[in-house]
Amino acid sequence: MLRLGVNIDHVATVRNARGGAYPDPVRAATVAQAAGADGITAHLREDRRHILDDDIDGLMDALSIPLNFEMAATDEMQAIALRHKPHAVCIVPEKREERTTEGGLEVAREENKLAHFIAPLRDAGCRVSIFIAADPAQIEAANRIGAQVIELHTGAYCDFHAEGRFGERDEELERLREMSTFAHSLGLEVHAGHGLTYDTVKPIAAFPEVVELNIGHFLIGEAIFAGLDPAIREMRRMMDEARA
């Protein structure tokens, strides 16, 4: 079965807008777990704009499904990951000025640094994932540094769809298809995510090499209108339908 990881970052965004304790992202994670999510993703950014350190503590205590801990390749984040030892660690690019993660990690130019960075995480038992664009050079570099998983950035594909640029959307979709096959041929586990909605999820979910989708912002937004549990169940239904 294709796995669904639910990113709960933007529950924390809403909470932090008022500076209080509500809505609680840990509660959102337990609702997602009950709704059939296979894992929870949380990105602890250096600027702590949404998820906070205490949230990671709470998620580690509350969940019986895996936590995918997204983080930048910094000493601070490595230390936090090594303290908690989550099931998975996903290394992502991070810039303070960006609104959201704008692209994949540059692995090919930073191979030596990243290889040394992820080694202790692997030794601690974390599955290491690298969030990258659908580019063969980046996939090959991720494989060389010892990552077990890659997560393909689907943001450009989703943006092209939203903007009605369907020719470019289809080109990007084909690139994602080819690169999922290529990564799988190297022995990498293939995940995908960023910007996926009900309108864009099925073509990605249909790729046989992709074993996990990580979806957050859309589900949290849809939860305003439908509730989090129904939103997740509908996404799961569409993923299963596409995979079947």
* pLDDT per residue rounded down to tens, the chain (244 residues): 899 999 999 999 999 999 999 999 999 999 999 999 999 999 999 999 999 999 999 999 999 999 999 999 999 999 999 999 999 999 999 765 555 556 689 999 999 999 999 999 999 999 999 999 999 999 999 999 999 999 999 999 999 999 999 999 999 999 999 999 999 999 999 999 999 999 999 999 999 999 999 999 999 999 999 999 999 999 999 999 999 8
- Which among 35, 11, 90, 157 is positioned nearest to 81, based on CA atoms? 90
**Which member of 10, 172, 194, 212 is catalytic?**
194
Tell me if residue 102 is catalytic: no
Quick check: is 194 catalytic?
Answer: yes
Phi, psi of 204 (to 5 degrees): -75, -45
Q: Which of 10, 43, 153, 191 is catalytic?
A: 43
Global pTM value? 0.94
Is 43 one of the catalytic residues?
yes
Cα 46 from Cα 123, distance rounded (Å): 24
Active-site residue identified among 10, 50, 70, 153? 70
